[in-house]
Structure 1
């Protein structure tokens, strides 16, 4: 399973949700495709059994027949690995998970159960006590969650696939997932409001502030801590990248790496700068301008995009940039083949791509996405910092693919300074 397959399921949900009115439709439209993504065939009873029945013994000794919507079995067809219960779309799933608990309590070999409404998926296990279902799910995801990192979700789900399923390692992974989520929640809460978490604030400041900790002092330290969090996160995200950027800028300043040689495969001459699509005409001032110098931030953006391209197998020298007074272009092989633009001069930073808006929303989950003005692209995504572009690598890659298949437009814009990749 990969992120693209999950995104197809996201699209299926978006296209179908208005027509899903009952549990059976949710099963057929969403849950069965999800089971197939895990590598199991719902049409083979050896692997997947619908309306799986088991007899549970009650306190009075009577057997109570119970059914699960799906039971997934090992390759022998004898041992149940996962049971899945489906509810109508919009159901409060946690409050309806007791049926899973019964199965986990009376089938010793069973350790995992999923309850879903087709959109939301809650994974339960017996991690704390064998055959006693934990009160909280160890993993959840939702097909309508715009903040999901689908690559990470796919990686985790792959462990439940037919090829990879291993109950022992899965229990450890599930425990780690629960611990990790607890740490994320705890850190997030502390970072958002350090003043409300006394232990965190005390740890943070114990070697920094030596004076008496009065209420007023702690309030002051809480405000300072809040101001320190954003630059700290930026440092953690971008230290390695910024170090490489500083080295490159230093080489440029020392003359050991020229930004644009007179001739060569990486040089884009000003008179060859034709637009890939209809672009705003340059003003008279632009025509007479000798040079538009790229900023450090623009060079940083270019560095991330180029690295994304090289990791996908493209040659670094094929990725070029061209600076204008309105935006910063990154193109492939020719300046007419731009595939991403950076707008860093306004109140909000954004990038423009050739990816349709709805597809861009899926590839840029967690970011604000909207239609781009027609003169600048098709979709645009708002960012706050350059390191965030790494989270948009799927979007950048897709935009490059689309740019290579689109047709060029004939009109050209007046010459602007064009620079090859350093």
Structure 2
């Protein structure tokens, strides 16, 4: 099963169960261990997932981190869990203390819903204060799923993840700054644009006036870009639908219902009218055969006429709806199959 499908299934499970989960221990078993399983690790294999992981911390003994994920006999991720009701904070976290005494390069702090991945980008062997990857599992974007996939057992590569972690960290921080500037442009941000369009001296008053202009310009620009994308998508979909309609019309234009087929239909109606109203016997012409149905239902075929080739045939259906193709000399031979046609109607009426 693809990881995105597994993550979606876990998110649905969390939304259904969280109101019934009261403790940190329940959070671990219901939310965190299934996430570790999604990453491809066997939570019941002590060589892969070690609960209550302990390491020597000098004079400080007995402290434990909730889980350590192992690969090739070495811990690659240490995990600290909180109850899903708790906010995440790394202050006074065991993760800081364990990080520098193990060989791991990654630490995970989670409450089963929010996940924060840390490494040591700022100082070697010292866990960073800020996570390089952060997400809410119940609201995942495609780019985040791609990052989670890198931690899967089959993909895990320390160097690849660490080299990408720096970019993730700064992208996250830059996006935060963009959000701040969009909501309330700073002087420096305002001057960046005002200097390019305003010929006069940028006094404090001018900068204040430009703040509103910059904010409106950016919001309009983003809205226009979104609308352009939506319109392009709608246009593409419209063209696709029009193409399908043209194909359908072209397909239908190739179908010509002959007078002989209509005469065959009238013979079958005459046979069946003694048992059912004529309005229930409906024909559908196709390129390969002339089909006659009960109640215009594809699952209730009465027979099929093949009259456009050099040889003529009628197809009848047994109780298993298996088609039997029988040669006929002319449409008058249809009268020979009165019993079979009436039996087919009886079969559907019994169902």
Shorter-chain TM-score range: 0.5 to 0.7
Provide the rounded CA distance (Å) in 2 between the counterparts of 1:175 and 1:228: 31
Partner residue, 1:302? 234
Provide the rounded CA distance (Å) in 1 between the counterparts of 2:238 and 2:64: 54
Runs of 5+ unmatched residues, structure 1: 243-296, 322-331, 335-406, 408-422
Matches within 5 A, 1:77-156: 78-95=73-90, 98-107=93-102, 109-144=103-138, 148-156=139-147
Deviation at 1:178, TM superposition (A): 0.6
Runs of 5+ unmatched residues, structure 2: 250-296, 298-351
Provide the rounded CA distance (Å) in 2 between the counterparts of 1:7 and 1:15: 12
The superposition leaves residues 141-169 of structure 1 with CA deviations (integer Å, 9 ceiling, x where unpaired) of: 1235xxx4432221110111101111112
Partner residue, 1:380? none
- CA distance 1:305–1:47, shift in 2 (3 Å): farther
Provide the rounded CA distance (Å) in 2 between the counterparts of 1:30 and 1:316: 46
Partner residue, 2:7? 6
- Quick check: 2:90–2:129 contact (8 Å CA) kept in 1? no
Provide the rounded CA distance (Å) in 2 between the counterparts of 1:33 and 1:116: 13
Partner residue, 1:216? 205
- Relative contact order, higher structure (CA 8 A, sep 6+): 1
Partner residue, 1:269? none
Matches within 5 A, 1:46-85: 46-57=47-58, 62=59, 64-74=61-71, 76=72, 78-85=73-80
User: Is the aligned partner of 1:16 residue 2:29?
Assistant: no
Provide the rounded CA distance (Å) in 2 between the counterparts of 1:217 and 1:37: 55
SS of the equivalent of 1:65 reads coil
- CA distance 1:17–1:167, shift in 2 (3 Å): same
Provide the rounded CA distance (Å) in 2 between the counterparts of 1:192 and 1:25: 40
Provide the rounded CA distance (Å) in 1 between the counterparts of 2:175 and 2:35: 27
- CA distance 1:135–1:303, shift in 2 (3 Å): same
Provide the rounded CA distance (Å) in 1 between the counterparts of 2:248 and 2:27: 47
Provide the rounded CA distance (Å) in 1 between the counterparts of 2:225 and 2:4: 26
Partner residue, 1:401? none
Matches within 5 A, 1:325-340: none
- CA distance 1:222–1:304, shift in 2 (3 Å): farther
The superposition leaves residues 73-121 of structure 1 with CA deviations (integer Å, 9 ceiling, x where unpaired) of: 11x2x111001111222223214562001111111x2111111111111
Partner residue, 1:171? 162
The superposition leaves residues 183-239 of structure 1 with CA deviations (integer Å, 9 ceiling, x where unpaired) of: 111112112222xx1111111121210102222211221121122112322454566
Partner residue, 1:415? none
The superposition leaves residues 48-75 of structure 1 with CA deviations (integer Å, 9 ceiling, x where unpaired) of: 1122221211xxxx3513322211111x
- Quick check: 1:97–1:115 contact (8 Å CA) kept in 2? no
Provide the rounded CA distance (Å) in 1 between the counterparts of 2:236 and 2:183: 28
Partner residue, 1:189? 180
- CA distance 1:333–1:220, shift in 2 (3 Å): farther
SS of the equivalent of 2:41 reads coil
Partner residue, 1:317? 243
- Quick check: 1:120–1:140 contact (8 Å CA) kept in 2? yes
